[in-house]
Every structure is written in C-alpha cells, then in structure tokens.
Structure 1
Amino acid sequence: MNSQDKALTIKRYANRYREHGYSPLSLGWGKGGRQKIRFGAMAGIGIGPSDSVLDVGCGFGDFQAYLKGQGWKGRYLGIDFVDDFLLEARKQHPQIRVKNADILSRSFVERFDFVVSSGIFNTRLKHEKGEYAYIRKMMARMLSLSRKGVACDFISSYVDFRNKTTFHAEPEKLCAIAKSLSRRVLMRHDYLPFEFMVYMYTNDGVDTRGGVFK
C-alpha cells in the first residue's frame, strides 16, 4: 500500500479504536455473530490442527483464538499496521505472536502453510492506481508466502446498498485474478449475503491425461 493510503488507514482505525476499544466496530465490522461466521469460512480453506497460519491485517488477533477453540495447535503470526490493535491483541491473548509488518516488504520472507486476510480490501483507496491491481499484487504475495493456500474475503458488488467509502469487489473479477495466480481456486458467496471469500491453493498441478488435479 502506498504511504498516503497507509497513513489514512492507520488514522481511520486508530480513531475507531479510541471510540470503541476492543470491539468488532473498531475493525469496521458490525455487531452480532458475523465475525465468527467469517472465521469459520476462513478456516474452511482446510487449516489442519498443526498447520501454520499468517493472518494479514490481524486486528486483535481473534482468529487465533477461534482456531484454538477448534483444537488447532499450530504456529501463528498476525501482522497489522495499527499499533493500537497489536497492543490490544497482546492484552487479550498474552501468548500471541503479532507484529507491525508489511508483506510487500522484501524483508518479509517467513513462510506459512496458510495465509489468510479478512477486511483488508474493504475500503476504497484514494491514492492507488487501481484497487484490483493492488489486490492482485497482495494476493500474489500472499500465495508466494504460502505452502498450501490463501483465503481472502471481500465486500461484494451484489448488495442492496453501497457505501461510497467501501470497495465493493466484483466476484467475477476476483475469480479471474485468482485464476491468473493459481489453477486451483474456490469462490464462496454462501456464508454471508453481502460478502464473499476466495481460496487459492498451491497444489494446482494438473494431470493432463486425466484432466484432473494431481
């Protein structure tokens, strides 16, 4: 993300945190049980009990707590730009591993079985040359850091109301982006009515004789 949009993002979330504290509202999500539904959809990519996970835009690190509640015992790293969120994550989850980092930085080289992100593409960027180009860059980087797969969620263009500051992604375009990066892709528009998620898998080799994945 460019420095201008990054500064705006940090300011927006810091202001929300000052108002709402430890709450999904600080992350730009509504009240209710939707966060748990999102977590279930992210875990549905196939995260196993010992798989390592990189959570990009981790917020308060609550996805780690969700996974642990499902019996998961793998290695976790959450990264975020917002220091207030990281401090709160350490407060809420004392053993959690989180840090302020940017996966687009060349210095970030640690790899994981799965890389996930929730909410990081929900806001329109004022200074990028195009949201889809930025999303593709991020998804490609996440896939390069993953041994098994990537899960990313988006606010859908199939909605009954649009917010001017929200980026409503077209599922068809995201599917095309994902397919340009991996031949093995799954798109889910079934877990919440106005959101969707894309899975990309690294094991996308094809047996051309049988026309199936290896």
Structure 2
Amino acid sequence: MNKVHQNINKYYTDKINQYGVTPKGVDWNSEESQFIRFDQLSKVITCTGFSINDIGCGYGKYTDYLESKFKDFSYVGYDLSEDMIISAQKKYPHYKFIKTNIQDEIQVSDYSIASGIFSVKMQHLEYEWLSYILSTLENLNNKSKKGFSFNMLTKYSDKEYMRNDLYYADPLFIFDYCKRNFSKDIALLHDYNLYEFTVIVRKAY
C-alpha cells in the first residue's frame, strides 16, 4: 500500500471508529447530502440489469439508494479500510464488500462510482494528490464497460470555508482531462447546491 493509500486508510478508519455507521463515519455531514450525491452519481446508469462497483464504499450506504431506485443490479463495494468493510458486511450482509488497494482485484463491471474519495488530501502536496486522482480515474475507466462517475470538491467554493487539508479541484480541467482521455460523452454537473461537482463518463458500447 503506497503512502497516499496508507493515509486515506487511517483517516477513514479513524472516522468509522469514532462515529460508527453514520454519515459522519464516512466524513459526510448528513444522510440528505449523501443521497444528493448518490442521485448525481447514478445519472451514469442508463440500463437495467447492470453490475456496479462502488469504489471507496465506506459502510455500504449506496446500496440503500440503489434498492430504492433500481430493481435488478449486482453490486460490489471496495474500500481501503478493513474496519469500513467489516461495518459494511455487518450492515448489508447480502452484498459483497472487498478490502483492497490493488487494481487487479477490482472486477470489471458495467459501471463504477466513486463518492468522496478525492476530497481529503490531508498533508499531501497538490501535485501528489492530483497524481493519485488521475491514476484512480484511469483505474475507474479500465474497470467500467459502460461508464463511471465521481465527485470532487470545487475550486469555486467560498474562500472563507475552504480548508488546507481538503482538495478543491478545477472542474474545467477535470472535464477536459476526461474528455481527452476517456470518452467523448462527458457530463459536468455543478448545479446541485453543494460545494462540489460530479463528472459522468459514458462510454460507447
């Protein structure tokens, strides 16, 4: 496990141990904001009977959303934190959760989503964190047949609320990177009243 993954693992393991199976346990403010994010990320889904990877699944809350919106799907959640995976398995025993930081252990599915995994850069330098983001996006692309989606904090956040330990991305750069490297069919969603944006990558199939 590289240094970035080690630090992410510790950060979120500490959160789930401190707050338990709650939104704060995965570093979100509320269940309402979790579901707003799930709504945006799920716009990548355009078919029924799909398979989906949840990268950075936390304790598996996204499965509640999927069950409320879709009838036929197969789900696998992946996380760096063993404590997160244990919590997910206890709460949602009928779904599959895997602890891994190795790309080869992630199965190819129709879709992949990643919620919140790019936000907390901790002590890492900007270029280190961007390198982690771009390599992770490459992995998302490789493991997704029909498309993938992810969210990031936006550099258009109010300055007085921005924190040094968080990463605020340039949505135009990220859009351009995805357009040039992954697909011609890209959507940038920046209109849902949170200090973040979601990118939808749909692939030809």
Q: TM-score over 0.5 for the alignment?
A: yes
What is the count of residue pairs matched by the alignment?
201
CA apart distance, 1:168:
0.5
Which secondary structure state, in structure 2, belongs to the residue aligned with residue 30 of structure 1? coil
Shift of 1:16: 1.5
- Aligned partner of 2:5 in structure 1 is 6
Question: Bigger radius of gyration, 1 or 2?
Answer: 1
Which residue identity does 2:198 align to in structure 1? M
- Indicate how the Cα distance of structure 1 residues 94 and 47 shifts in structure 2: closer, same or farther if over 3 A, else same: farther
Structure-2 residue corresponding to 1:180: 180
Aligned partners of 2:132, 2:3: CA distance in 1, in Å?
14
- Considering only aligned residues, what root-mean-square deviation do their CA atoms show, in Å? 1.8
What's the counterpart of residue 118 of structure 1?
115
From 139, 142, 165, give the equivalent of 1:141: 139
Greater relative CO, 1 or 2 (CA 8 Å, sep 6+): 2
Q: How far apart, CA to CA, are the structure 2 residues paired with 1:103 and 1:197?
A: 24
Which residue number corresponds to residue 195 of structure 2? Answer: 194
CA distance in 1, matches of 2:146, 2:101: 21
Mapped to 2, the partners of 1:117 and 1:109 lie a distance apart of 13
**What amino acid does structure 1 have at the position aligned with 2:145?**
R
State the one-letter code of the partner of 1:37. Answer: I
The residue type paired with residue 8 of structure 2 is T
Q: Please give the per-residue CA displacement for 1:116-150, whole angstroms capped at 9, x wherever unaligned.
A: 10011001162785322322221122111111001
Q: CA deviation at 1:186?
A: 0.6
Would you say the 8 A contact 1:48–1:72 is kept in 2? no
The equivalent of 2:42 in structure 1 is 43
Asked whether the equivalents of residues 103 and 142 of structure 1 are also in contact (C-alpha less than 8 Å), the reply is no
CA distance in 2, matches of 1:49, 1:72: 8
* CA distance, structure 1, for counterparts of residue 46 and residue 79 of structure 2: 21
- Alignment of 1:94 with 2:76, yes or no, is no
Measure the CA separation in 2 of the matches of 1:10 and 1:127: 18
**What CA distance in whole angstroms lies between the structure 2 residues aligned with 1:195 and 1:50?**
30
SS of match in other structure, 1:75: strand
5 Å-filtered alignment, 1:156-167, equals 156-160=154-158, 161-167=161-167
Residue segments in structure 2 that go unaligned for 5+ positions in a row: none
Cα distance between partner residues in 2 of 1:109 and 1:55:
10
Partner of 1:68: 67
- Runs of 5+ consecutive residues of structure 1 not aligned to the other structure: 205-214
| Counterpart contact for 1:4–1:127, Cα < 8 Å | no
With over 3 angstroms needed to count, the CA separation of the structure-2 counterparts of 1:127 and 1:103, relative to structure 1, is farther
For the residue of structure 2 that corresponds to 1:85, the secondary structure is helix
Matched residue type, 1:189: H
The question of whether the paired residues in 2 share the 8 Å contact of 1:86 and 1:99 is answered with: yes
CA distance in 2, matches of 1:129, 1:167: 11
Q: Tell me the secondary structure at the aligned position of residue 44 of structure 1.
A: helix
Query: In structure 1, what residue type is equivalent to 2:136?
Result: M
| Cα separation, partners in 2 of 1:101 and 1:76, compared to 1, 3 Å | same
* TM-score, length basis structure 1: 0.87
Q: Displacement of 1:103 after TM fit? A: 4.8
**Counterparts of 2:157 and 2:188 in 1: how far apart (Å)?**
17
Tell me if structure 1 keeps the 8 A contact 2:43–2:200. no
